[in-house]
Structure formats: C-alpha cells, structure tokens
Amino acid sequence: MKSVYFDNNATTRVDPRVVEAMLPFFTEQFGNPSSMHGFGANVGSALNRARGELQSLLGAEHDHEIVFTSGGTEGDNAAILSTLEANPRRREIITSAVEHPAVLSLCTWLEKNKGISVHLIPVDSKGRLDLDAYEAALSDRVAIVSIMWANNETGTIFPVAGLADKAKAVGALFHTDAVQAVGKIPIDLKSTAIDMLSLSGHKLHAPKGIGALYVRRGVRFRPQIKGGHQERGRRAGTENTPAIVALGKAAVLATRYLAEENTRVRALRDRLEKGLIQRIGNSFVTGDPDNRLPNTANVAFEYIEGEGILLLLNKEGIAASSGSACTSGSLEPSHVLRAMNIPYTAAHGAIRFSLSRESTDDEVDHVL
Ligand code: PLP
C-alpha cells in the first residue's frame, strides 16, 4: 500500500544528507569538544561550524548568539525562566492563548507556584492576535513577551517583528517560539528587535532531541542547567556533538530549500485544500488566509469526529493529525481552535495535514 506522510509539523524524516554528516561524530570524531587534545579540537571546530550554519539560517549577527539545547521545549523554558530570574522586579508575562504547551503549561505553573501574572492574549476566528489586547497588556511590569512565530496547528504567522518593537518600548524582553517557522519562512533576526528565539531540529529534517536558543548579544541570561562551562556558561553538559553537527547540516539544507518550500510545497498545499473542500461538503480551512505557513493545511470537516477521520486515513496509509486530544475519556477540541471560537461541531473534525519538501504531487492525488 502507498503511504503518505502529511504530519511534518509533528516531526520530519531526518534527511539522508544530515545522517551522513553526523555519522563520523559517533566514530572517528568521538572526542569531547572541551578536551585540550586534537580529538577534542576537531570536534570543537565542527561545533563552531554548526553554530555558524544556524547563525546564517536565522540571520543572526554573531555565531555565539546560538546556544544548543535539547529542543524546542528546553529553549522555551530557558528563555522565560532566565528572563524572570534576571529581572526579579518584573513579575508579569505576556503570551498568546494559542501557544504550544511548552510555553503555556510553564506559564500556568509560574502563575500557580511563583505568583507571576500571565496575560493570555486572545486571537480572532482566523487565529490572528488581538493587537489592542496586546498593547493594553504591555507595561514596565512585564519581564518577557513570548509569542510564537507561527502556530503549529493552523500555520498562522504572527507579526513578531512589530510585536518585538512594542515590547522593547516598555523594556520587556521578546522571545519567540519559532519551532514551526524556522526553515519554512525567511528569518532575519538582525533586522528585528527579537531578543530570543527557540527552534527544534526534528521539525527541519534533523534528529529529535536537538535544538537551539538564540540569545541576542547583551541580553542578560541565567543558565537553567548548571554545571560545566559549555555553551559559554549558558547551558551546561557535554554537547550532543553528532546531533549538533546534524542540526548545522539541516540548517544549510533548509536555507537551500526555502524558496521551494514557498513555491512548490505551497502550491501542493493549496491544491490539497481546494480539492478537499470541493469534494467534501461542510468543510473549511482554518487559520489566517493571508499569513500562513506554506506547508500547513488545517481543514475542519463539520459534524464528523476527527479521530474517526484519522483512523480511516491511517487505513489508507495516510498520516495526518487531529486538532483534538482525547483527555480523560472526553474528546476536547484543541485549545487553539477553541481560542479561535471555531464551533465545536467543526473543531471536533479538524484535521491538520502538514507537508514538507519531500511531499509530491502523487501524494496529494492519493489523499484527494
Ligand atoms: N513549540 C512548538 C510550536 C512546537 O510545535 C513544538 C513541537 O511540537 C515544540 C515547541 C516542542 O519542541 P520539541 O519537541 O523539540 O521539544
């Protein structure tokens, strides 16, 4: 049976060129980059090369603004916790109602256990941030604004550069969870006021368990993992060298494929959406029609239950994902679709198809 993987926002296949680049770092190049001898030095220069590769993908000013992490969740946690620690007098956070749990559940925890006030900025029915509510929440009590660059479920892109300018005006730091944006849309950090950005390797054809946090030069940073002096004292622990080399290679490839992502992949996604809506009554695309990731289609099929659709798709060899999560026996639609006020009858049947540079015309035909 033909199989079609349209769940690339969940994770991507590691690119074979990425696997090839990382393999020597398990065997010949096994040294510890902190060692003084040649085994270490070779690996150390590979890490620096990877840092430079990330720097160019993000358009960062300096390669030492890149801190390697274990992934998106760690980057999100480190950015927020570090900022609260470095600015103890500011006790408020601004974030959106549609963030990933890596940000949202940390904020809930901080509110409950540390007395931090959290402003959850709402979105409209297309998933666009309520800019008036954002401006109203900004003040000199806010330590950090953390707003995602693009939403993982609908692909809606947020105007982070403009939001960062506004945060700067009240002296708050601006962090963006760019886990879904990196490699899909152009990013040039040096032309923005963004202070910190989190990314994750496994969303851009690198392995799971590796990521990076961009920390703009001059930002006061407090390490959340304490120990040795790795990563200039910002993240202790012997570096995951094969995975870092892999992330560097994935960054080079992502830069190379960025144009294709926004032309060929976008056209495939558009054809899939149009075809689905034409064929199936009572269905519609969710998210911002004007500002959306090129690979993501979130389609709501009204009066049908999402898990059922996924099981039947799976029988046909098609992998997608649902906007609802089965929690404690009751099917709750995702917090993202609920925040958008999508009616329950539609939110329950929302399916996310997420394509990648590996997706083909044949696959779209098969799904349609
Ligand atoms: N943030 C967003 C928007 C995501 O989509 C994900 C992964 O699904 C994460 C954070 C978490 O990243 P990781 O799996 O690398 O911890």
Give the relative orientation of helices 241-260 and 38-58 as an angle to the nearest 10 degrees.
Answer: 30
Ligand 1 pocket residue status of 248, Cβ below 6 Å = no
Q: How far apart are CA 13 and CA 33, in angstroms?
A: 28
Ligand 1 pocket residue status of 200, Cβ below 6 Å = yes
Residue 328, pLDDT above cutoff 60: no
Q: Is 326 a catalytic residue?
A: yes
Burial of 265 (0-12, 13-18, 19+ CB in 10 A): buried
Q: Which residues make beta-bridge pairs with 333?
A: 324
User: Where residue 2 falls among pLDDT bands split at 50, 70, 90?
Assistant: confident
Q: What is the DSSP letter of 287?
A: S
Cα of 10 vs centre of ligand 1, distance in Å, is 8
Ligand 1 pocket residue status of 201, Cβ below 6 Å = no
Of 106, 160, 179, 210, which is best to mutate to test ligand 1, by the most ligand atoms within 8 angstroms of its C-beta? 179
Q: Which residues make beta-bridge pairs with 318?
A: 4
Give the nearest ligand 1 atom to 99 CA: 3
Ligand 1 pocket residue status of 287, Cβ below 6 Å = no
Q: pLDDT value at position 320? A: 97
Residue 22, pLDDT above cutoff 80: yes
Of 73, 98, 106, which is best to mutate to test ligand 1, by the most ligand atoms within 8 angstroms of its C-beta? 73
Amino acid at 288: D
Overall average pLDDT of the 138-152 stretch: 98
Percent of the chain that is helix, strand, coil (3-state, to 5):
40, 20, 40
C-alpha angle with apex 84: 215 to 155, nearest 5 degrees? 60
Ligand 1 pocket residue status of 100, Cβ below 6 Å = yes
Task: Give the tens place of pLDDT for each residue, 26-56.
Answer: 999 999 999 999 899 999 999 999 999 999 9
pLDDT above 90 as % of the chain: 96
Question: Which residue has the least CA distance to atom 14 on ligand 1?
Answer: 72
The candidate with the shortest Cα–Cα distance to 177, out of 88, 105, 232, is 105
Q: pLDDT value at position 332? A: 79
Overall average pLDDT of the 198-214 stretch: 98
| Phi, psi of 186, deg, nearest 5 | -65, 140
Residue 114, pLDDT above cutoff 50: yes
The answer, as to whether pTM is greater than 0.85, is yes
User: Where residue 1 falls among pLDDT bands split at 50, 70, 90?
Assistant: confident
User: Where residue 322 falls among pLDDT bands split at 50, 70, 90?
Assistant: confident
Q: How far apart are CA 147 and CA 126, in angstroms?
A: 16
Q: How far apart are CA 284 and CA 298, in angstroms?
A: 9
User: Where residue 333 falls among pLDDT bands split at 50, 70, 90?
Assistant: confident
Report the relative pairing of strands 211-215 and 196-200 from DSSP bridges: antiparallel
The catalytic residue among 317, 326, 362, 368 is 326
Neighbouring CB atoms inside 10 A of 88's CB total: 8
Ligand 1 pocket residue status of 211, Cβ below 6 Å = yes
Cα of 40 vs centre of ligand 1, distance in Å, is 31
Q: How far apart are CA 35 and CA 239, in angstroms?
A: 12
Q: What is the mean pLDDT of the chain?
A: 96
Cα of 333 vs centre of ligand 1, distance in Å, is 19
Give the nearest ligand 1 atom to 74 CA: 16
Ligand 1 pocket residue status of 187, Cβ below 6 Å = no
The sheet carrying 142-146 orders its strands as: 66-69, 211-215, 196-200, 173-177, 142-146, 92-96, 117-121
* 353 and 286 Cβ atoms separated by less than 8 Å: no
Stretch (H or E) spanning 200? strand 196-200
The candidate with the shortest Cα–Cα distance to 66, out of 75, 349, 321, 204, is 75
Q: What is the DSSP letter of 64?
A: G
Task: Give the tens place of pLDDT for each residue, 253-290.
Answer: 999 999 999 999 999 999 999 999 999 999 999 999 99
Residue 329, pLDDT above cutoff 70: no
Ligand 1 pocket residue status of 148, Cβ below 6 Å = yes
Cα of 72 vs centre of ligand 1, distance in Å, is 5
Overall average pLDDT of the 191-217 stretch: 98
Overall average pLDDT of the 63-73 stretch: 98
Task: Give the tens place of pLDDT for each residue, 207-247.
Answer: 999 999 999 999 999 999 999 999 999 999 999 999 999 99
User: Where residue 327 falls among pLDDT bands split at 50, 70, 90?
Assistant: very low
